[in-house]
Every structure is written in C-alpha cells, then in structure tokens.
Amino acid sequence: MPIRADDDGGSKEFEIHPAGTFPGLCLDVQDKGMVDSEYQGKTTTRHKGVLWFWCGQRDSEGRLLLVNMWFTLSTFHKAAIWPFLRGWLGDEAPGTGEGDRSERVAFDFETLIARPSYLTLVHNVGKNGKTYCNIGNAAPPYPNMEVPAYPDDFVRFEDREPRDEGVGQGAPPQGPPNDSDVPF
C-alpha cells in the first residue's frame, strides 16, 4: 500500500495569536544550540535561544497560544537581545548599571521564566506567504496589571519526551526487522 503525503507535507495550519498589546508571562527559555542561518547569501552559525511567552489566550481547540522570540545567545552588550531585555526589565536588565559598556555581561536567561511582561505583538508575512505573530517589543507590566498565571498544562521544552526523528516522514524502521514469526 502506498504512503502518500499532502503537497504541503502534511503540516497543519495553526492559529496565530492576535496582534496588539497584551500582558504576558515568560514560560520558557530554550537553548537551541548552534544554528545555521542565512542572510544576504551568507551562512553563519550562531548559538541561538528562544523565549516563549503566553498572554493567557488559547486556540479554538483549547491549546495554549504561545508566541516566541529567537535570539543569539550573546553576552555582548550590543547584541540584538539586549535592547529587548532593557525594554522589558528596565534598570534590572544586565549591563544597565555603571561600568564599562564594552564589557561582556554574564546573564542567566532562565531567570526570565515566570517573569511578567507587557508585550506588543505584530503580524508579519514571511517569504512563504504565511502570516506569523512576532514580538515587537516588551515592557514591564503596569502596576496592578493582571498577568496570566503559569498554566498547569504547559511542560517546559527540556522536560518533554523527545520526538522520534522522522516519525510520520517515511522514516526507515529502527534496527533490523524482526522475522522470527515468519513460518518458513
């Protein structure tokens, strides 16, 4: 029997978070390791991370509507993540105190987990024509602002069961076939 894939690779269209400003909560920081990226025809490899936020909304099937922000895990004060962190954390952001601004700043990104925020979310159309929800910027929540509680049904990425590589993609079986039940 043939195994066929849809012309879209069998991928499902997921609902995206609405654009606007929302109180949010950082649910996770994911270390993606060394990642290749291409810009203007040049490929570079950088250590990447992802910040995951929840603004208290769920999709039509009850799943968490999450938004994320990819960034280069860099401790240099001119890295793109630092203006974002300064907007979100204000004076508590690393590298905002006195001292030589040319120094590298040590920072544990996991301290951001369960930290509230006030996010501006924007919709952008990718090169593939799909619309994505991106984080435009972050600010500290206003005093007495209701921020979503950490959801009981969220599991940090590092605590999730690993997915089998190639499952659902016509992957070859793992290990030699078991032919012990063949009658000849």
List the chain domain ranges.
20-147
Q: pLDDT at position 52, please?
A: 95
pLDDT at 35 > cutoff 80: yes
CB atoms within 10 A of CB 183: 3
Name the pLDDT band for 101 (thresholds 50, 70, 90). Answer: low
97 confidence band (pLDDT: 50, 70, 90): low
pLDDT at 93 over 90: no
In this predicted model, which residue has the larger pLDDT, 94 or 72?
72
Q: Over 50: is that where the pLDDT of 19 sits?
A: yes
What is the predicted pLDDT for the residue at 23? Answer: 96
Q: pLDDT tier at 68 (50, 70, 90 boundaries)?
A: very high
pTM of the shown model? 0.76
Q: Please report, for the chain, how many H helices and E strands are present, in that order.
A: 1, 5
